[in-house]
Chains A and B, each alone.
Chain A
Amino acid sequence: MKYRVMHKTSYFGHQAVSIGHNQAWLEPREVPSQQVESFVLKISPEPSIRSRQNDYFGNPVTLFSFNEGYQSLSVTATSFVTITPPLAARSGDVLEASPPWEEVVAMAKAHTDPESLHAYEFVFASPRVRWSAEMLEYVRPTFVPGRPILEAVDELTRRIHTDFVYDPRATTVTTPVADVFRMKRGVCQDFAHMQIALLRALGIPARYVSGYLRTYPPEGKPRLVGADASHAWLSVFCGPRGWADVDPTNNKFTTIDHICLAWGRDYSDVPPLTGVFIGGGQHRLTVEVDVLPIG
């Protein structure tokens, strides 16, 4: 599946911003199931300086800054990517064939091979993901002894989808996961953090994935340009099987509809766009995302 993804962030300040420094995780990373054909980051006004590097987790990140003031800023990322279907289909066979979850926990703990060592980094608390005894209590009934990990993860994904209400007004970008657990409300980012916390509480490595999701227009309606949004889900370590991506917001394993940007321990490692600026007074920030299938 080929896509053209456009992600445009516009910033408008009531007073001019005097200087600004920014970091963007807007370039899709290369993964086995995803090839990046091209990526262009258009910044207007033209920044004084920009550079690209890989972060600690291997995600491409662009840094740019302005010496001159500006009143409005737009950052437009355009990527062409090809997605090949991931192996994990949600069929009973595949789920049952995965190793018992305790085996995965033990593998990470022992981390004797490079892949488990890499996974072990995603077992611990991180700036946005910590857990409590209540969360452990919530997750225990699903992770009964000896249960195949994918089967349990599948059930947990379903439970989060059922128990938590999608509500963009309930949380902000900084709402702690404990509040999300208490309110049982939030957006994709919160649900991803939630499921990561529940898995890490058991010792299962789980990482945060930032990206996009192709949306389908309602039957008989035309596709709306720019109505898509940033999305977030998680990757679960499944031992020898590698990583499986699940999307608790939509209660599914990821498909060719998911386009991955970057991963990290949680949102704070890979926000699409961050920046520090001086001045600017009140400001308004809008984001438009368009995921266009092109064959």
Chain B
Amino acid sequence: MSIGLTQDTKPLRLYQAPAQVYDEVYTAGGDIRPHWSRVLQAYSQVPQAEFARRNAQADRLLRENGVNFHSFTDQASAARPWKLDLLPLVITSTEWSGVEDGLAQRARLLNAIIRDLYGPQTLIKERHLPAEVVFANPEFLRPFFNLRPSELNPLFLYAAELARSAQGTWWVMADRTEAPAGPGFALENRIITSRTIPSSFKQIHVERLASFFVHLQNSLRRRATRALESPRTVLLTQGPNHRYYFEDVYLARYLGYTLVEGGDLAVRNDCVFMKTLSGLLPVDIVLCRCSESGLDPLELGGSASHGVPGLLHAARCGNVAMANTPGCGIMGAPIFMAFLPTICERWFGEKLKIPSIATWWCGDPENLRLVQSRAEELVIKPAFQKSGGEEIIVSDLSKADRDQLLGRIAAQPYLWVAQEKMARSGVPVWSETGVRCGHVAVRAFLVEDEAEYRLMPGGLIRVAPDAGPMQLSVSAGDGSKDLWVLAKGRVDKVTLLAPGDQPAELRRTSALFPSRVADNLFWLGRSLDRCDFLSRIIRSLADRLLGEGSTEMTEIRFLARVLVEQGQLEPGFVVDGLESQLPSLAEALPAAVYDKSEVGGLTSAISELTRLSSLVRDWMSPDTWQRVHLTAEAFNVSASQEWIDLTDVVTSTSQLIGNLASVSGLIADGMNRGPSWRFLELGRCIERAGATAKLLLSAELRSGVSTPALLKTLIEVLDVQMTYRFRYRDQLQRNAVLDLAITDETNPRSLVFQIERLVSHVDRLPGAENRPLRSEDMRIVMQCAHAVRMLTAEDLAAAVPRNVVAALKAIEEGTTALSNTLTRKYLVHSGTPRQITDFSGGTP
């Protein structure tokens, strides 16, 4: 079905907005506002089914990108994907430049206030602001006092939360001044919308977002305190447990900055450095995407994951630039909104161009009376809390709660503000059941560049089903939309790439490789291989438990023992009398495989895999991350079925093995052979060599014990059936299996293959080139290589293969030792910072 524009003048009515709100699309008379006509026309040309398909595609792309607001490390609270509606919100460039003008004025005003509060405090002395904004404000952090007094504009990145009143004018609902979240989400919404929106929309000229990020990069570069061609910039994140980590990763990658956590940085002689595999490298600019209050555990206390002891003093000394300058965050509190108009007139001699939502500070007795008498119509907020926090809609409260709240306000009125409720404007929101009316909140972003504030020609749109107050956090609301600022003419293409006439300096390495990343990649490599190994064993065992007749108990006992050793099964299953336990083993296996609480189990191995890959997301190709994400998702879907039997185990482990192989393929094909790849490979080879050696040791290779059935299981688990069959047909001989598993350098799963790769990786580790003698790690891998290389054909064929067992033991121990040595040498980059406090009690 297609909704066509009717030929007569009666406009297309997609939805009905409530009477009391401003309608973005239709005038009061029911006519389409001119700037919407092209969008509605484009929409009407698309059959509903096609639009639905495109929307679903956008949803899928978002999910694959892993856009979500939950911690990546917590599998239990399955991530809610960010819903994106392909119908954009359209605004004319004339209107948007008015918004830019107004918000730029506001940003300048906020800067002036920040500099004053953390400096001379004349606003308080001259009573333009109540002294409480500093003295009673827990967010006023005294270590920021006079931190960078000469800095022109401490507020580098600023976001304003906008809503349109019933009269059609814009109002600021909240200010975001401490690392505002959202520019990355806006960018992602744009990229996905333009990729999936039907072609009929593509004729509409829309302003591009890239220009905003170019301003951001240029401005940030200019903030460097030393004159440098290319200052080193890092993006300081609160880490993977923080809900906007995804955006940090996304922005770091888009802007080309190294993503760091607090532990990646160190302060020496009041200068900031990054800890890398090749030593400390100076850092010039820190783009802070974290809360100010945790920046420096020395001066601010706490133990935030983004904290760097000594960072503030380094900034104070002018040795590092931080953006936003610490101290900006205070302006996010709603109390300031009550005073901005007066300060603006006083300082700039002009009116506030875009008003704030009406705000009353209860510390003023007259306001308090007003708030007490009109409470039902108002929203109450803690005066000093940065936006996004507690928000109380009084009319929603019970009588008792309302009285309690008013009691709290009366006790300490200066801690509260009240704000008017505002009905947000209506926009069309597409859904499968048709277009309905949604209500929008717009987050607009500004960046300072050469003392001017530039508004992003776009923004983050959140939509809620009703018009009332919406929580201010970006994760609130039903879904999101792209914001289209209609261009006046053709749009110039701006990209973040350097201009074409300037050849780049060619490089082979990126020096900025934090030790923490090497550590995570190393364990990611181990985890990838561990998942593969475990699923192969589980599949073989499940297969045999399903199969009838031909299966021998030795195979089942062997596989069960390996799983017990891996911590996947209860030890009870390896004792004698396994035959009688078969039914219970058939029941226990599926349960153990999907048991989340089993530490050594497959399910936890997979969540470890997801956790580690989310930690190093910015070091993998987006395709690889997506594949890991989907692999885990597919496995978890099969794990959440109600009835799980052995057939499900076989199916889902087979699927898992296939998915893991495609992850490996993406890594092998796409990952640059730099240090990141090398550490991942080191992890994989160590894990595979160790596990293979262990597996062979468990197989009790003595004659008589290693039956053909057991050998068949071995070649199956080691994934060498094909080669074996080509070489030896169906004759299962122990020495041939051992050769394939241990000494065949053409088999990528053999032990010798892993060891040779380890030798070559260890040889190329940083610092290896200048050492006169072999390093400890090198000695260990050479010992392993020696053990394998010295095996003879007779050793492999011996009735009691002592030398083989000795070599396997050497490898088993060697891989553990190598892992420990590498960790000590390259990967342990810091301990946890601790506080010392001294107080000796006192004099009685």
Chain A residues with CB below 8 A from B145, complex form: 55-56
Chain A residues with CB below 8 A from B834, complex form: 276-278, 280
| Known contacts A48-B268, A56-B145, A278-B831; A168 and B841 CB within 8 A of each other | yes
CB pair A187–B298 under 8 Å, yes or no, is no
When chains A and B are docked, how far (Å) is the Cα of A289 from the Cα of B317?
A: 33
Give the nearest-CB partner of A169 in chain B: B841
Chain B residues with CB below 8 A from A53, complex form: 316
1/0 per residue, CB under 8 A from B, across A237-255: the answer is 0000000000001100000
CB pair A271–B301 under 8 Å, yes or no, is no
How many interface residues does A have (CB within 8 Å)?
59
When chains A and B are docked, how far (Å) is the Cα of A66 from the Cα of B257?
A: 29
CB pair A21–B842 under 8 Å, yes or no, is no
CB pair B840–A278 under 8 Å, yes or no, is no
Q: A223 an interface residue at 8 Å Cβ cutoff? A: no
How far apart are B369's CB and chain A's nearest CB, in angstroms? 18
CB pair A51–B313 under 8 Å, yes or no, is yes
Looking at A96-104, A138-146, A176-184, A226-234, the stretch in contact with chain B turns out to be A226-234
Q: B836 an interface residue at 8 Å Cβ cutoff? A: yes
Chain A residues with CB below 8 A from B301, complex form: 268
Chain A residues with CB below 8 A from B842, complex form: 187-189, 229-232, 249
CB pair B297–A276 under 8 Å, yes or no, is yes
| Known contacts A229-B842, A232-B842; A276 and B835 CB within 8 A of each other | yes
| Known contacts A21-B267, A117-B124, A117-B125; A278 and B843 CB within 8 A of each other | no
Give the nearest-CB partner of B263 in chain A: A278
CB pair B843–A215 under 8 Å, yes or no, is yes
How far apart are A188's CB and chain B's nearest CB, in angstroms? 3
Q: B135 an interface residue at 8 Å Cβ cutoff? A: yes
How far apart are B442's CB and chain A's nearest CB, in angstroms? 36
When chains A and B are docked, how far (Å) is the Cα of A18 from the Cα of B317?
A: 23
Q: A72 an interface residue at 8 Å Cβ cutoff? A: no
Chain B residues with CB below 8 A from A173, complex form: 837, 839
When chains A and B are docked, how far (Å) is the Cα of A270 from the Cα of B124?
A: 24
> Which has the most chain A C-beta neighbours within 10 Å: B310, B830, B838?
B838
Q: B128 an interface residue at 8 Å Cβ cutoff? A: no
> Which has the most chain A C-beta neighbours within 10 Å: B136, B267, B297, B841?
B841
Q: B447 an interface residue at 8 Å Cβ cutoff? A: no
> Which has the most chain B C-beta neighbours within 10 Å: A9, A63, A249?
A63
> Which has the most chain A C-beta neighbours within 10 Å: B267, B309, B313, B836?
B836
Query: Which one of A187, A212, A275, A287 contacts B835 once the chains associate, using CB atoms below 8 Å?
Result: A275
CB pair B836–A188 under 8 Å, yes or no, is no
Q: B833 an interface residue at 8 Å Cβ cutoff? A: yes
Q: B142 an interface residue at 8 Å Cβ cutoff? A: yes
When chains A and B are docked, how far (Å) is the Cα of A56 from the Cα of B135?
A: 12
When chains A and B are docked, how far (Å) is the Cα of A250 from the Cα of B298?
A: 33
How far apart are B327's CB and chain A's nearest CB, in angstroms? 12
Give the nearest-CB partner of B837 in chain A: A173
Q: B270 an interface residue at 8 Å Cβ cutoff? A: yes
CB pair B142–A269 under 8 Å, yes or no, is yes
CB pair B267–A65 under 8 Å, yes or no, is yes
Q: A260 an interface residue at 8 Å Cβ cutoff? A: no
Chain A residues with CB below 8 A from B843, complex form: 188, 212-213, 215, 228-229, 231, 249-250
Chain B residues with CB below 8 A from A125, complex form: 136
Q: A124 an interface residue at 8 Å Cβ cutoff? A: yes
Q: A121 an interface residue at 8 Å Cβ cutoff? A: yes
Chain B residues with CB below 8 A from A120, complex form: 131, 135
Q: A49 an interface residue at 8 Å Cβ cutoff? A: yes
Chain A residues with CB below 8 A from B124, complex form: 117
1/0 per residue, CB under 8 A from B, across A40-54: the answer is 000000001101010
Q: A111 an interface residue at 8 Å Cβ cutoff? A: yes
CB pair A229–B266 under 8 Å, yes or no, is no
Q: A86 an interface residue at 8 Å Cβ cutoff? A: no
CB pair A276–B838 under 8 Å, yes or no, is no
Q: A11 an interface residue at 8 Å Cβ cutoff? A: yes
Query: Which one of B142, B298, B830, B837 contacts A55 once the chains associate, using CB atoms below 8 Å?
Result: B142
Q: B230 an interface residue at 8 Å Cβ cutoff? A: no
Give the nearest-CB partner of B411 in chain A: A133
Q: B29 an interface residue at 8 Å Cβ cutoff? A: no
How far apart are B590's CB and chain A's nearest CB, in angstroms? 46
Q: A1 an interface residue at 8 Å Cβ cutoff? A: no
Q: B349 an interface residue at 8 Å Cβ cutoff? A: no
CB pair B839–A189 under 8 Å, yes or no, is yes
Chain A residues with CB below 8 A from B136, complex form: 124-125
Chain A residues with CB below 8 A from B844, complex form: 166, 188, 249-250
Give the nearest-CB partner of A205 in chain B: B135
How far apart are A59's CB and chain B's nearest CB, in angstroms? 11
How far apart are A129's CB and chain B's nearest CB, in angstroms? 12
1/0 per residue, CB under 8 A from A, across B129-141: the answer is 0011011100000
When chains A and B are docked, how far (Å) is the Cα of A287 from the Cα of B298?
A: 20
Q: B269 an interface residue at 8 Å Cβ cutoff? A: yes
Chain A residues with CB below 8 A from B203, complex form: none
CB pair A273–B836 under 8 Å, yes or no, is yes
Q: A23 an interface residue at 8 Å Cβ cutoff? A: yes
Chain B residues with CB below 8 A from A276, complex form: 297-298, 309, 833-836
Chain A residues with CB below 8 A from B131, complex form: 111, 117, 120-121
Chain B residues with CB below 8 A from A11, complex form: 836
Query: Which one of B125, B298, B832 contacts A275 once the chains associate, using CB atoms below 8 Å?
Result: B298
Q: A19 an interface residue at 8 Å Cβ cutoff? A: yes
When chains A and B are docked, how far (Å) is the Cα of A60 from the Cα of B309?
A: 20
When chains A and B are docked, how far (Å) is the Cα of A9 from the Cα of B270?
A: 24
When chains A and B are docked, how far (Å) is the Cα of A166 from the Cα of B136?
A: 31
| Known contacts A48-B269, A65-B267, A120-B131; A56 and B142 CB within 8 A of each other | yes
Give the nearest-CB partner of B834 in chain A: A277
CB pair B838–A272 under 8 Å, yes or no, is yes
When chains A and B are docked, how far (Å) is the Cα of A49 from the Cα of B676?
A: 35
CB pair B268–A9 under 8 Å, yes or no, is no
Q: A208 an interface residue at 8 Å Cβ cutoff? A: no
How far apart are A249's CB and chain B's nearest CB, in angstroms? 6
When chains A and B are docked, how far (Å) is the Cα of A48 from the Cα of B309?
A: 15
CB pair A278–B313 under 8 Å, yes or no, is no
Q: A279 an interface residue at 8 Å Cβ cutoff? A: yes
Give the nearest-CB partner of B144 in chain A: A56
When chains A and B are docked, how far (Å) is the Cα of A22 from the Cα of B309?
A: 9
Chain B residues with CB below 8 A from A278, complex form: 830-834
1/0 per residue, CB under 8 A from B, across A56-86: the answer is 1100000101010000000000000000000
Q: Which B residues between 231 and 290 are near A, CB-CB below 8 angstroms? A: 266-270
When chains A and B are docked, how far (Å) is the Cα of A267 from the Cα of B838?
A: 11
Query: Which one of A19, A49, A287 contacts B266 once the chains associate, using CB atoms below 8 Å?
Result: A19
Chain A residues with CB below 8 A from B835, complex form: 274-276
Chain A residues with CB below 8 A from B266, complex form: 19
Q: A105 an interface residue at 8 Å Cβ cutoff? A: no
> Which has the most chain B C-beta neighbours within 10 Å: A48, A51, A250, A276?
A276
When chains A and B are docked, how far (Å) is the Cα of A19 from the Cα of B297?
A: 14
Q: A123 an interface residue at 8 Å Cβ cutoff? A: yes
Give the nearest-CB partner of B270 in chain A: A49
| Known contacts A55-B142, A279-B831; A63 and B841 CB within 8 A of each other | no
CB pair B298–A274 under 8 Å, yes or no, is yes
Give the nearest-CB partner of A53 in chain B: B316
Q: A285 an interface residue at 8 Å Cβ cutoff? A: yes
Chain B residues with CB below 8 A from A232, complex form: 842
CB pair A229–B298 under 8 Å, yes or no, is no
Query: Which one of B135, B831, B838 contacts A287 once the chains associate, using CB atoms below 8 Å?
Result: B838
How far apart are A43's CB and chain B's nearest CB, in angstroms? 14
- The 5 tightest CB contacts between A and B, nearest first, are A188-B842, A56-B142, A287-B840, A276-B309, A124-B136
23 contacts between A and B (CB under 8 A): A9-B838, A11-B836, A22-B836, A51-B317, A53-B316, A56-B142, A117-B131, A124-B135, A125-B136, A187-B841, A188-B842, A188-B843, A228-B843, A230-B839, A230-B841, A249-B842, A274-B837, A276-B836, A277-B836, A278-B833, A278-B834, A280-B834, A283-B836
List 12 additional contacts besides A166-B844, A230-B839; criterion CB under 8 Å. A21-B309, A21-B310, A23-B299, A56-B142, A56-B145, A65-B270, A114-B125, A229-B843, A274-B838, A275-B835, A276-B833, A276-B835
